[in-house]
Amino acid sequence: MSKAQMKKPLSEALKRYAPLVEAWLDRILPPEDRMPQEIHRAMRYSVFAGGKRLRPVLAIMTHRWAGGKSERIFPVASAIELIHTYSLIHDDLPAMDDDDFRRNKPTCHRVFGEAIAILAGDALSALAFEILAKYGNVRVVREVAKAIGTDGLVGGQVLDILGEGKPVSEEDVRNIHIRKTAALFAASARVGAILARSDRKTLDAITRYATNIGLAFQITDDVLDIVGNQEELGKDIGSDLQLDKATYPRAVGLKRSRQIARKLCEDAKAALPPDRDNSFFFALADFIVDRSY
């Protein structure tokens, strides 16, 4: 099977569902002319600046894979994208990574100023939980809240900041990346499965899958920050080196980092039950380690 054929389930899913996510994002975000206009402009600027929409599509595809048919998955998945965007806005701030570009556009704080960027991130997070509460359920809200708290994204960011300029081991970096990136991937998949009323075995399998690809995603990001093309990536490269970040290449080298990412994606595939159509999930895993952006 050619690489194009292997990637087809992913490209087809993105083509089918990403526009539905875009439509829901447009529907749930306040219009730019609503008072106070500046914050709504900043929110929409960042959400619609581009992006692959991998996390919401992962939630949708997991829901379908697990036998779910609820239309509620679309606003719930879109809320996860709001969470992701909020994290990027804050990650780009001068107090964090101090990046000037994201998705080939000036970062939110470069356009609207630091104060509005901080508040835009806060507002996206608040709106996301409003949507999760409206269309999801208590378990869904809990999953996402846990994924972005001190055991998840926020905790990972803290460890990331504290690790700057210090000697780091592979385990140190893994602890950062599991929280900073993998937790939201896992929550995306788990939310889809929960809304499909999956049993524990199915939920555990998709959790292992999503955690592994989430960790591989961040390792690949670490590698691309060194060897990637800035125009293709759409964001600043070399910032990890400049800030002396705790990354896999710094801990174990480029070659070993690539090997670990590949092994994680193979482990992710192996976690899925063989009696289901796993083609989308296999294609997503391959994309994550092969991507150049």
What gap in Å lies between CA 55 and CA 213, rounded to an integer?
11
* Distances, alpha carbon 248 to alpha carbons 149, 181, 291, in Å: 23, 14, 17
- Whether residue 110 is predicted with pLDDT greater than 80 in this model: the reply is yes
Q: Which contacts (CB < 8 Å, 24+ apart) does range 169-172 have?
A: 169/251, 170/248, 170/251, 170/252, 170/260, 172/246, 172/251
What gap in Å lies between CA 42 and CA 107, rounded to an integer?
10
- Whether residue 242 is predicted with pLDDT greater than 80 in this model: the reply is no
- Tens of pLDDT, residue by residue over 54-78, are 999 999 999 999 999 999 999 999 9
Domain boundaries, the chain: 3-290
- Whether residue 200 is predicted with pLDDT greater than 90 in this model: the reply is yes
- Tens of pLDDT, residue by residue over 127-182, are 999 999 999 999 999 999 999 999 999 999 999 999 998 999 999 999 999 999 99
Structure confidence at residue 245 as a pLDDT band (50, 70, 90): confident
What gap in Å lies between CA 239 and CA 228, rounded to an integer?
12
Residue length of the chain:
293
CATH class of 3-290: mainly alpha
- Rounded to two decimals, the pTM is 0.94
What gap in Å lies between CA 36 and CA 47, rounded to an integer?
17
Structure confidence at residue 104 as a pLDDT band (50, 70, 90): confident
Planar angle of CA 178, 183, 186, nearest 5 degrees: 120
- Whether residue 122 is predicted with pLDDT greater than 70 in this model: the reply is yes
Residues paired with 105 in a beta bridge: 102
